[in-house]
């Protein structure tokens, strides 16, 4: 199996829908960005190649966001996140 296909679904976000805190789980997480419905980056956090990264979202408005997650190799995965 080639590397591309193994990487799909590499990161997970829980809970989702969420309020307060979410946990990004994967391997070698380097950076997390949250992007709102207007395409604005509303949060950027660096991580130090961890397998679980905690993100506080309590200051963000309710709605649909896209979480852009990058690992140490530069692989990027985008996941939907609903904030209640």
> What confidence score (pLDDT) does residue 27 get?
87
In a 13 Å sphere around the CA of 60, the CA atoms on its Cβ side amount to 27
Per-residue pLDDT of the chain (84 residues; tens, 9 = 90+): 334 434 455 899 999 999 999 999 998 999 999 999 999 999 999 999 899 999 999 999 999 999 999 999 898 999 999 999
Q: Which two tokens stand for residue 46?
A: 């660096």
The CA distance from 3 to 64, in Å, is 30
Domain extent for 20: 3-83
Q: For position 41, which CATH number holds?
A: 2.60.40.1930
Question: How many domains does the structure of the chain reveal?
Answer: 1
In a 13 Å sphere around the CA of 59, the CA atoms on its Cβ side amount to 5
pTM of the predicted model as reported, rounded to 2 decimal places: 0.84
> What confidence score (pLDDT) does residue 33 get?
97
């Amino acid at each position: 199996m080639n590397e591309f296909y193994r990487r799909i679904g590499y990161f997970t976000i829980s809970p989702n829908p969420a309020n307060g805190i979410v946990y990004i789980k994967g391997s070698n997480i380097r950076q997390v960005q949250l992007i709102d419905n207007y395409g604005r980056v509303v949060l950027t956090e660096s991580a130090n190649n961890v397998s679980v990264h905690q993100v506080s979202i309590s200051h963000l408005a309710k709605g649909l966001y896209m979480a852009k997650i990058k690992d140490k190799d530069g692989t990027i995965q985008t996941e939907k996140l609903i904030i209640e």
